[in-house]
Structure 1
């Protein structure tokens, strides 16, 4: 005989399994979206460079040391990506006024413009997908994703 507590635990386990399956699908779709977005900016832009560029744009400025820590990437990988972003005309670099050993990275006006267009497109796609949800359901989903981001 299955107790109600065991049934509830089993139901929770099934729900968590379902959540993990959907998270895996979201991660796969996100990687595809990153590839598509990077290619829209420049066919040579790699996904890693795209992620760095979007962070730099949203933050306003960043430096390679900060990026290496945030993205848990080796400094040599960051260096190559930053160099490529500079060569593609997507970021500019200047000496840090407080620490001359560091370089301050900023998105170029053309990069900011194309990223703003991509964000509008992404927002439109997201609005279409969540159109059937209520505002409360969207807030609940946001809360779940916030909690998951803290794992």
Structure 2
């Protein structure tokens, strides 16, 4: 390895270390945002339940089996969250039309409205944060996050 290649390698290592530090900060902020968002919907809503509810709302519906696979959670944990979401009036359950043994879960209208308000607030915050970036810079950042999500 030449001196020039070693310098480039050291620069890359430094940049990657900086990226990891900022990703850790983003993850910590995301966990805080999930807690705040769950509490805005209902003070008793747990973060896990919030994430399931948000997914169901975006997907339109889901089964407990789909949720367990998607979130890599034990079915008993999913069942507890679903039960709590139903008790809070945030989730409705009906029999699957093709297989009556399965339950189809959907967000209630009040949950959908609360989630839409949260998403609007989150989008507004994000717009403010990235206001100084060009569309090309936003696309580059998006590409980095997409690649990281595929790891």
TM class by shorter chain equals over 0.9
1:78 aligns with 78
1:51 paired residue number = 51
Q: Secondary structure at the match of 1:57?
A: helix
The corresponding residue for 1:148 is: 148
Aligned partner of 2:21 in structure 1 is 21
Where 1:92 maps in the other structure, the secondary structure is strand
Q: Which residue of 2 aligns with 1:100?
A: 100
> 1:50 and 1:141 mapped to 2: Cα distance?
26
1:97 positional shift:
1.1
Runs of 4+ in structure 1 off by over 6 angstroms are none
TM-score by length of 1: 0.98
1:23-48 per-position Cα deviation (integer Å, ceiling 9, x unaligned): 00000000000000000000000000
**Alpha-carbon distance in structure 2 between the residues aligned to 1:72 and 1:7:** 41
* 1:122 corresponding residue in structure 2: 122
- The reply to whether residue 133 of structure 1 matches residue 149 of structure 2 is no
For 1:101-150, what per-residue CA distance to the aligned partner results, in whole angstroms no more than 9, with x for missing partners? 21000000000001000000000100111110000000000010000001
In structure 1, runs of 5+ residues without a counterpart are none
C-alpha distance in structure 2 between counterparts of 1:13 and 1:100, whole Å = 55
1:25 and 1:45 map into 2 onto residues whose CA distance is 24
Cα displacement (A) at 1:100: 1.8
The alignment covers a number of residue pairs equal to 151
